[in-house]
Chains A and B, each alone.
Chain A
């Protein structure tokens, strides 16, 4: 069964460094998402991406964040200058154009020191 994959599974970085989290959505899906879950808190929406542009973003998704679909398969989340509070699990999700269910990847655990 097709699934969303994410790399790396874990990333440790120093505050102020740039990180890029990578996702490969399910191949026939058209909508792509990033969510995050800070330890002990809810899963929070960051951004949705469709037709090569951002379709929705939350207040969390400020100028330090950006997303890109550099080729036909990858979907990336970049954090330009990481802060301690960016430490969280980051989940990528995708869905088709005609169904509502979003399918999630296994997540990347980001730790900012």
Chain B
């Protein structure tokens, strides 16, 4: 089941630069998307979300962009900080229910 896919298993970025994490989905019933950050041995921590009626949502250093026609969303982190180093998961919810479908995650490493 590959309804939500994060094609880059890892990403390395220099501190202060932009990190762009990508996510693709196939299910056109998805209407709400979330990004979570996860450290080892911890639960996913909510970062930012976007409804399908929007194409952009911004919260401080984090911005999520949604391209519905391409079924693609991305998370931008500007500027990247070493503390941002973690695994980032994209998740999606279909309008008919409550369950979240997760992507496989992208490990972000921000180098000082």
Contacts and interface: CB of A to CB of B under 8 A. Distances in A.
A38 to B, nearest CB: 12
Nearest to B6: A42
B101 interface: yes
B98 A91 contact: no
Given A48-B99, A56-B99, A43 B49 contact: no
Contacts of B49: 100-101
* Chain B contact surface mostly: strand
Interface stretch (B40-48, B61-69, B71-79): B40-48
A44 B102 contact: yes
Given A43-B44, A101-B46, A105-B43, A56 B98 contact: yes
A58 interface: yes
B43 A45 contact: no
B98 A31 contact: yes
- The bracket for how many chain B residues form the interface is 20 to 34
Given A101-B34, A101-B49, A45 B100 contact: yes
Contact of A42 (B34, B45, B97, B102): B102
Contacts of A65: none
Contacts of B41: 106-107, 109
A58 B89 CA distance: 20
B36 A104 contact: yes
Interface in A49-69: 50, 55-56, 58
Interface string B14-35: 0000000000000000001010
Contacts of B46: 101-104
A41 to B, nearest CB: 8
20 contacts: A31-B98, A33-B98, A33-B99, A35-B100, A42-B104, A43-B44, A43-B89, A45-B99, A45-B100, A55-B97, A56-B99, A101-B49, A102-B34, A102-B46, A103-B46, A104-B36, A104-B43, A104-B44, A104-B45, A106-B43
Q: Which 6 A-B pairs have the closest CB atoms?
A: A104-B43, A45-B99, A43-B102, A104-B44, A106-B43, A48-B98
